[in-house]
Amino acid sequence: MVMGHGGGGSLSAELVEHLFAPAFRNEVLDGLGDSAVFALGGARLALSTDSYVVRPLFFPGGSIGDLAVNGTVNDLAMSGAVPAYLSCGFILEEGVALELVGRVAEAMGAAARAADVVVATGDTKVVDAGHGDGIFVNTAGVGLIPDGVDIGPRRARPDDTVIVSGSIGVHGVAIMSKREGLEFGVEIESDTAPLSGLVAAMLAACPDLHALRDPTRGGLATSLGEIAAASGVGVRLAEHALPVPETVANACAFLGLDPLYVANEGKLVAFVPPEHADAVLTAMRAHPYGREAVAIGTCVEEHPGMVVSATRLGGTRVVDMPLGEQLPRIC
């Protein structure tokens, strides 16, 4: 087990394919989405979980508590579900200050209220000093999928417009600069945010959204690669259209990172039927978390499963899946 196995890239995918899928094999798990989707008692539900091990616990623009709520809210929203109830599991290290746990819980409570979800149940375990790392948080969440909504990574189609909701690479650079004590002129704040309201606005403009994903670990490149692989389409990006803020570009140049692979915590990428792309963009730009939404590419029949970027110089390059995360413990 190496750090990359938790990085969301192809090492993570191997872990799922070779260890977890055989152990748990079932049709729901095979759906490949950020959430499991199933019917229960006549309701169509989504269920999702994430554990959070980010360091530091508090960083510019947010905290592990914000990530723990927004991350699970966003995973549910990416299946079109309206997030409703969250569970919360703490694994605390003996000796961690109660005051710190309280601050994380308060951040979670505030984030839950902002996302209009209820933290409905929880659990706390304590491990001996030296066998944990302060505070780990797991959240799981349940949401209700509205009738007629069918969003999934297999549904991308040739000619779909690929839209990203705003600037990329911000969360990863915020964490990295804080952790390494680097400064890049102005402080870069994490973009952590709940995206369920934005998805609702997009669905109102186009109920037939094909695929949605929030590009967290592994960045936009990984999300695009996963959807291309699942649906068998090619993705052609226009590199000049990628919304990379200058601060992120500078930091990435300094750190030797590619913004396409850096984690976001408040952005989504959408695969939209071309005839609805303008309406969806207009709806997104009217929402606080989609003001900078922009089309960044299209789906093609060529090179199925592959993401290719048209460079500024007129050439093309293949956008590979990363092996692991460039920045460990980013969420």
How are strands ordered across the β-sheet holding 82-93?
36-40, 43-52, 135-144, 82-93, 118-127
The C-alpha atoms of residue 49 and residue 61 are separated, in whole angstroms, by 23
The C-alpha atoms of residue 167 and residue 249 are separated, in whole angstroms, by 11
Instruction: Work out how close the CB of 24 gets to its own copies at its nearest, in angstroms, rounded to a whole number.
Output: 4
Instruction: Work out how close the CB of 125 gets to its own copies at its nearest, in angstroms, rounded to a whole number.
Output: 5
- CB 172 within 8 Å of CB 325: no
By C-beta, is 7 or 153 nearer to its own copies? 7
Instruction: Work out how close the CB of 43 gets to its own copies at its nearest, in angstroms, rounded to a whole number.
Output: 3
By C-beta, is 45 or 162 nearer to its own copies? 45
By C-beta, is 15 or 238 nearer to its own copies? 15
- CB 281 within 8 Å of CB 295: yes
The C-alpha atoms of residue 37 and residue 30 are separated, in whole angstroms, by 10
The C-alpha atoms of residue 327 and residue 169 are separated, in whole angstroms, by 12
By C-beta, is 3 or 241 nearer to its own copies? 3
Instruction: Work out how close the CB of 192 gets to its own copies at its nearest, in angstroms, rounded to a whole number.
Output: 17
By C-beta, is 107 or 277 nearer to its own copies? 107
Instruction: Work out how close the CB of 21 gets to its own copies at its nearest, in angstroms, rounded to a whole number.
Output: 9
Instruction: Work out how close the CB of 319 gets to its own copies at its nearest, in angstroms, rounded to a whole number.
Output: 23
Which neighbouring-strand residues pair with 162?
271, 297
Q: Residue 271: which H helix or E strand, with range?
A: strand 269-272
249's CB contacts (< 8 A; 6+ apart) are 259
DSSP secondary structure letters along 128-178: -TTSS-SEEEEEEEEEEPPTT----GGG--TTPEEEE-S--SHHHHHHHHH
By C-beta, is 82 or 296 nearer to its own copies? 82
By C-beta, is 151 or 306 nearer to its own copies? 151
Instruction: Work out how close the CB of 117 gets to its own copies at its nearest, in angstroms, rounded to a whole number.
Output: 10
By C-beta, is 4 or 259 nearer to its own copies? 4
317's CB contacts (< 8 A; 6+ apart) are 308, 309, 311
Instruction: Work out how close the CB of 53 gets to its own copies at its nearest, in angstroms, rounded to a whole number.
Output: 5
Centroid of chain to Cα 45? 19
Amino acid at 241: A
| Torsion sign (Cα): 266, 165, 218, 9 | positive
Instruction: Work out how close the CB of 5 gets to its own copies at its nearest, in angstroms, rounded to a whole number.
Output: 5
By C-beta, is 100 or 310 nearer to its own copies? 100
The C-alpha atoms of residue 292 and residue 54 are separated, in whole angstroms, by 27
The phi, psi pair for 268, rounded to 5°, reads -135, 155
